[in-house]
Structure formats: C-alpha cells, structure tokens
Amino acid sequence: MPEDDDKALEVFIPMCLDWTNQELETIDVKSTLDRVMSIHERLEVLNKAMCFMRQELERRMIDWINANGDIVVGTVRYYVGKKKTTKAKDNSTVLDMLYTALAGDESMVCKCMSANPWKHGTIRGILDDDKLFDMLFETTEQMDLKTGKPKRGLQRVDSKYL
C-alpha cells in the first residue's frame, strides 16, 4: 500500500470509528429500525474491514519474522509456528479410560473437559502413556491448500503464564 494511503487510513479510520460511536450513542428504544440497522450494517462493514486488515497484518508479520526473527515485547513473544489441532478420536473411549485412571472421580474427569470436550494436555499428563494417548487422540496440522505443506501462522505466547 502506498505511503499516502497509509496516512489517509490513519486519519479516515479513527474518524469513521468516532462518527460511528457517536451515532451508536444516539440509539435507544425510540430509534427507528432503519436507523438501528444502518448503524448495524456500518459496524458489520467495519468489522469485515478490520478482519481483513488483521489478516493482512498477520501475513506481513509472518514475513517480517521469517526475515528478521521473533518479535519480543515485554513478556510476549511472537513467532511463526505450525497451526495444529488435537481432538479425541472417540469420546466414549476417552471417558472410559479417564474413569479408570481416576478411579471413578467424576469431579476430576470434569476438570479434563473443555468445549472439545477434552483437555488433551491434562489427559496426557493423567494417562502418562503416549501410546494410550495416541490411541485416544489425533493431532493434525492444518495444511495450506496452495502448497500442500503444513500451514504456518502467527503464534503468541506470554512467558508470564509459562
């Protein structure tokens, strides 16, 4: 993006956000549906624009990190790493194994759950058996459709939580 465009965005985006916020503050139960929906649609457009810019910034940060090395700001480190997901192969088998490993302690079993519903890192520590863990869970790397290689993405770690 040309430098003049960057400067224009530095002025335009805050103005647009300020204007939208001022309009938003005028919305109440007496506002017309058209007025409410007009601001809603404007926020949807702004949100899509922000998502696009966030993705573009991430792509550029990945390029920068690949060329210059990790970015460290205070306790936060940005680095490029593989994006992976881990999920249970069979929830029923995981539950059976956890009940056995935890002697039927339902409270402890529940502490192993997340939206997945399983906290695979917690379960790995409880089972303490890589073969058993690998039987219950699979970890897959997201693949880049263009290159066929593992997808790389911006990773964030805060050392104060390590």
What are the pLDDT digits (tens) for 55-92? 999 999 999 999 999 999 999 999 999 888 888 999 89
> How many domains does the chain fold into?
2
Domain ranges, residue 8 = 1-69
Same domain, 3 and 55: yes
Q: Look up residue 144 and give its DSSP letter.
A: P
Same domain, 92 and 136: yes
From the number of C-beta atoms within 10 Å of its C-beta (0-12, 13-18, 19+), residue 98 rates as buried
Contact 116, 136 (CB under 8 A): no
In a domain, 132, yes or no: yes
Q: Please give the residue that has the higher pLDDT: either 17 or 139.
A: 139
Same domain, 59 and 95: no
Give the type of residue at 153. Answer: G
Identify the three-state secondary structure at position 152. strand
Residue at token pair 């770690």? 157
Task: Output the pLDDT for position 1.
Answer: 46
Same domain, 65 and 9: yes
Among the ranges given (7-16, 50-59, 73-82, 101-110), the one the predictor scored with the smallest mean pLDDT: 7-16
- In tens, the pLDDT along 136-145 reads 999 888 888 7
